[in-house]
Structure 1
Amino acid sequence: MKKVSYRNQISKILSISLVVFLLFSVSMFAQEETPAEGEQTEASVGDAAKGKSLFNQNCAACHALNRKMTGPALANVETRLYEEEGLDKEWLYKWIRNSAGMIASGDAYAIKIYNEYNQAAMTAFPTLSNADIDDILAYTAAPPPAAPPPPPGAVAEGVPSGGGSGISNEVILGALVLVFGLLVVMLFLVNNTLRRIAEANGVVVEKEKAEKRTPIWKAFVQNQFLVLVSVVFLLLGSAYFAYGWMMQVGVDQGYAPIQPIHYSHKIHAGVNKIECKYCHSSARVSKHSGIPSLNVCMNCHKSIYEYKGTAEGPSQEDLANGYTNEFYTNEIKKLYKAVGWDEENQKYTGESQPVEWVRIHNLPDLAYFNHSQHVSVAGIECQTCHGPVEEMEIMYQYSPLTMGWCINCHRETNVKVEGNEYYAKIHDELSKKYGVDKLTAAQMGGLECGKCHY
């Protein structure tokens, strides 16, 4: 009887075929049809595209298209005024250019709007021409634009990801699992069949036997020099990492807690260019930078009730993390609930709730730090200590805030004395003492213990 070393070539071929089949299936099912773009209906009078720009510049602070804000909703305002009040476009021209004058003249509908909206007259826009107003009205009369196509690889909410067939991901996954199971069974049956055929023809199927070798651990133990070197390196490495761990006790660099209301510094400080000290105003005059009160948020969010995104749209990273327009809009609703703001009636209800913000930067009690000294006197930018906040979706502690980090900054930072009478005399005296034109914070006493430790 002939003995041969048996290798199941067919098994290898089937395995490769299985992998290729799975990859092909996934690539086929992952393809999505790009939704057709909605047809745009042009307004009969005026340019809606120009009107949108004019609306955002002049009207969006107080008006929205489909909801009441500081002023009434403006969707199809021309048609509504004509059908419900019998007013024509000429009335709108006069109202937009001089609403206070129309109220003073006794116009019935002008007085009605004035009383309905807290007796606050609308800002006059005498510089808007008839053509400009026509463009704005065309924008308010235009149908809402079609939703933009989703970016490649993104799946629209509520839409099955199986392309035009409407097949759900669960059905596709189930089908792939079934095919995989069938192929495994087929592979097992073919393997057994080939073994039986080989044995029937007098071929003894043998599995390759591995050569008997000395175990690695035994060879390692028998080599005394290698054991000694390994022990030395192990002790030195353990001491190194133990020292590094102990030096990080109390250092929270990278700490990024989840806040009760999500606040994106990337959107506020980055996209919208809001200055840090607009919200953290106490940093100019106080030891602490302070947490902005929710009234500061409502300065803008009385009018900004939903997030409409940027012209570029959300990035793939934002979509993967769930940062969609709907997500940010829901966070604005949390703000309204906390301050007790009634969106429908545009007024406070008086039912407010405290927001338990989680503190991020926290120095030990034995260290003294004054924001106003650094911000107002030294003129240091917020990013010097807090990092590129304009790029942070979730705020985190950028710097280690250790004693060594502060000391290095004092040693390397030149004090700005130009036009600062506070430093005029001391700068002259210390310049003579050290023989330099520029003085660092360290040379002006920035390394004295009592400066930072009471």
Structure 2
Amino acid sequence: MKKVLYRHLFSKALGLSLLFSPISFYAQEEAAAPTEEVAADAGADTGGDAAKGKQLFNQNCAACHALDRKMTGPALANVETRLADDAGLDREWLYAWIKNSPGVIASGDAYANKIYAEYNQAAMTPFPTLSDQDIDDILAYTAAPPSTPAKAATTSGGGDGGQPSSGGISNELILGALALVFGLLVIMLVLVNKTLRRIAEANGIVLEQEKQKRMPLWKAFVKNQFLVLVSVIFLLLASAYFAYGWMMQVGVDQGYAPVQPIHFSHKIHAGDNKIECKYCHSSARVSKTSGIPSLNVCMNCHKSIYQYAGNPEGPSADDIANGYTNDFYTGEIKKLYKAVGWDEENQKYTGEGRPVEWVRIHNLPDFAYFNHSQHVSVAGIECQTCHGPVEEMEIVEQFSPLTMGWCINCHRETNVKVEGNAYYEAIHEELSKKYGVDKLTAAMMGGLECGKCHY
């Protein structure tokens, strides 16, 4: 019998495949470091409830104070202990100061007048409705040490870039081992195929019959003139259709969502916090354009909101995957401070601001006239009608095509709100008498005339 040269190579390949195959069934264990939550028992010293105090602090104090940093007012972490050590003041002084700070200043109290002078002679807002127990709860919260959040165990889909945990094998190593196994199997099958062919040839076995010669397909196609004519006509029509569709999209930027120099989340502002669109875009009520909000409008809130605390439920998996974490949003607030020239430490403007180069999203041609106030104030159309659900958009995009046909269809189909508008009521009455019109649309009032939008 003829010796097969590939027998030893076949054995080696099979052995390697058996060696590496168990790796594919290895279950990766994630060694999650045990975390302990240390409860802060600060309420025992102050006689208050820190949990209730946190709620009262957020409702009454957080607009001007933070625990660990100076804002409009001083930092309040361990305020009772610091006052006792620095000025020898007790809790009774704090009761009087919180409930009626102007009265304490007027009484000539030295420390109260020192604070009053240090903070630009602006007295703290008095809180006479807070009881002594409420103040005790707030002091319990300010005396509690800041909690250290436990680091969550990182999975393969988390934000650590897929780094392997210390107790298992990385996904890259498993995939590499699987690729090696499959490669060895392919090599093994090729070698087996060659070996079997050599054995068959040695024994005179015919593996394949000679294929009958036939005409190539392309030659048969060329000789059929009718099929060629039909194919050419079909290709020309298809090309014209796609060329027309492509040219009709020139200047249509539906879905355009540029990256802005400062990330502004409409989902957080208009969605989570329910801020009305016209609070920022106030000129939409009275002007042709909706306007770009000035940075001073942003600072109305962000003088006090210096970091993003996030939703109570925490960021979603999609937000984490896209990098939209609390630290990311806090960094964007810092960009706002730099642009407007706000000294966060001293709580004042430096005068060294710089303009923000916002990228325009919605842009009509110069020959098309559109008036926001006519649609928003007169017609009462909601912003979402044209701009889509902006309260759900993390990055705002052009929702509608804003083409001429899209506008004309709206004028034809949208009913005008005539209730409470004497001008439209008179027009509707005349149209009803003359034509028996039940509903009034913009098209019936000349909304399809060329001069309405092009002049």
Question: TM-score normalised to the size of structure 1?
Answer: 0.86
User: AA paired with 1:249?
Assistant: V
Residues 240/194 of structure 1: CA separation in 2 closer, same or farther (3 Å cut): closer
Q: Deviations over 1:257-305 (max 9, x none)?
A: 1111110000100011100000000000000000000000000111111
Report the counterpart of residue 387 of structure 1 in structure 2.
388
Cα 1:346–1:204, aligned 2, differ >3 Å: closer, same or farther?
farther
Q: Structure 1: how far apart are the matches of 2:210 and 2:113?
A: 101
1:283-322 superposed matches below 5 A: 283-322=284-323
Quote the Cα distance in structure 1 between the aligned partners of 2:149 and 2:220.
68
Partner of 1:57: 59
Q: Which residue is equivalent to 1:72?
A: 74
**8 A contact 1:2–1:202 mirrored in 2:** no
Whole-Å separation in 1 of the counterparts to 2:291 and 2:169? 49
Name the CA distance, whole Å, in 2 between partners of 1:236 and 1:407. 29
Letter in 2 for 1:272: N
Q: How does 1:38-437 map to 2 (within 5 A)?
A: 38-43=37-42, 44=44, 45-147=47-149, 149=152, 153-155=156-158, 161-165=163-167, 173=172, 175-176=173-174, 179=177, 183=181, 212=211, 227-437=228-438
Q: 1:193 to 1:426 in 2, by over 3 A?
A: closer
- Cα distance, 1:127 vs. partner? 1.1
Q: Is the 8 A contact 2:158 2:320 kept in 1?
A: no
Instruction: Write the distance in 2 (CA, Å) between the matches of 1:18 and 1:303.
Output: 63
> Which deviates the most, 424-433 or 108-117?
424-433
Indicate conservation of the 8 Å contact 1:62/1:71, yes or no: yes
Whether contact under 8 Å (1:155, 1:161) holds in the other structure is no
Pair 1:183–1:418, CA change in 2 (3 A): closer
For residues 87-106 of structure 1, the C-alpha deviation after alignment (integer angstroms, 9 at most, x for no partner) is: 11111111111111111111
Tell me how far apart the structure 2 counterparts of residues 243 and 260 of structure 1 sit (CA, whole Å). 36
Q: Retained in 2: the 8 A contact 1:160–1:168?
A: no
Distance change (3 Å), C-alpha of 1:327 and 1:3: same
Letter matched to residue 232 of structure 1? I
Q: Matched residues in 1 for 2:420 and 2:209: separation? A: 84
Q: Which moved more, 1:32-41 or 1:267-276?
A: 32-41
Structure 2 SS opposite 1:163: coil
Output the CA distance in 1 between the equivalents of 2:411 and 2:191: 80
1:243 and 1:280 mapped to 2: Cα distance?
A: 37
Using the TM superposition, name which of 145-154 and 235-244 deviates more: 145-154
1:314, 1:413 → 2: CA distance? 39
Mapped to 1, the partners of 2:103 and 2:82 lie a distance apart of 23
Shift of 1:352: 0.6
Query: Greater CA deviation, 422-431 or 274-283?
Result: 422-431
Q: What is the CA–CA distance in structure 2 between the aligned matches of 1:210 and 1:268, rounded to whole Å?
A: 75
Q: Gaps spanning 5+ residues in structure 2: where? A: none
1:79-127, Cα deviation, whole Å (9 max, x unpaired): 2112222111111111111111111111111111111112111111111
Counterpart of 2:102 in structure 1: which amino acid? A
For the residues of structure 2 that align with 1:196 and 1:412, how far apart are their CA atoms? Answer: 73
Paired residues of 2:21 and 2:178 also in contact (CA < 8 A): no
Q: Does 1:28 align with 2:57?
A: no
Change (3 A) 1:145 1:207: farther
CA distance in 2, matches of 1:404, 1:305: 45
Q: Is the 8 A contact 1:18 1:183 kept in 2?
A: no
2:352 and 2:210 mapped to 1: Cα distance? 80
Question: How far did residue 76 of structure 1 move?
Answer: 1.5
| Distance in 2 (alpha carbons) for counterparts of 1:14 and 1:432 | 95
Say which SS state the counterpart of residue 103 (structure 2) adopts. helix
Q: Work out whether residues 3 and 203 of structure 1, in 8 Å CA contact, stay in contact via their aligned partners in 2.
A: no
Q: Kindly tell me: are residues 112 and 222 of structure 1, through their superposed partners in 2, closer, same or farther at Cα, counting changes over 3 Å?
A: farther
Contact 2:388 2:400 in 1 (8 A): yes
Partners in 1 of 2:60 and 2:435 — Cα distance?
A: 59
Conserved in 1, the CA contact under 8 Å of 2:284 and 2:291? yes
Distance in 2 (CA, whole Å) between partners of 1:416 and 1:228 is 58
Cα offsets for 1:126-164 (capped at 9, x unmatched): 11112211222222222223325368555466x994335
Contact 2:255–2:397 (Cα < 8 Å) also in 1: yes
RMSD (CA atoms): 3.8
Identity %: 70
Q: 1:220 to 1:35 in 2, by over 3 A?
A: farther
Separation (CA, whole Å) in 2 of partners of 1:434 and 1:334: 60
How far apart are the structure 1 equivalents of 2:210 and 2:48? 88
Q: CA deviation at 1:368?
A: 0.7
> Which shows bigger deviation, 195-204 or 77-86?
195-204
Question: Which letter maps to 2:28?
Answer: M
How far apart, CA to CA, are the structure 2 residues paired with 1:294 and 1:412?
38
For residues 11 and 229 of structure 1, what CA distance do their matches in structure 2 show?
Answer: 58
- CA shift, 1:77, in A, is 1.4
SS in 2 for 1:82: helix
